[in-house]
Amino acid sequence: MGGDLEGLLAVLAPEVTLWTDSGAGAATSLQPVHGRTAVAEVFMSVAAAGLDGYRVGWRTVSGDPCAVIFDGDAPLAVVVLEVAPDDTVIGVYSVTNPAELTRVNAPDPTR
């Protein structure tokens, strides 16, 4: 979210794939994005659009650990990472369709 391209490239596997949902026109890309550079470009364009004021909460959603991006108390995105044994990210699953995020709870302000 901070726009650290070098840090992002360091954790993405060369063959990483990004999938985004396509409901409600919310997707960044309607097709899977393949490759470290292409996936990094998507995330850098999102970061460049301005993410000031958003918060990240950590949750388990459908049994998977994930990051949830919040705009105030409203979930903006759920991002699930598939991590290889070498600790590089080989899959990114991003859900931004508001209809799919209705059961995601707001972050606990005391944590």
Interatomic CA distance for residues 78 and 57, integer angstroms: 9
- Cα atoms found within 13 Å of the Cα of residue 63, Cβ hemisphere only: 0
Mean pLDDT of 87-111: 78
Give residue-wise pLDDT tens across range 21-46. 865 555 556 789 999 999 999 888 87
What pLDDT, on the 0 to 100 scale, is given for residue 35?
Answer: 96
Neighbours of 78 (CB within 10 A): 23
pLDDT tens column, 43-96: 888 777 776 778 888 877 777 778 888 888 888 888 898 889 999 999 999 888
Mean pLDDT confidence for 3-30: 79
pTM of the model: 0.77
89 within 8 A of 13, measured Cβ to Cβ: yes
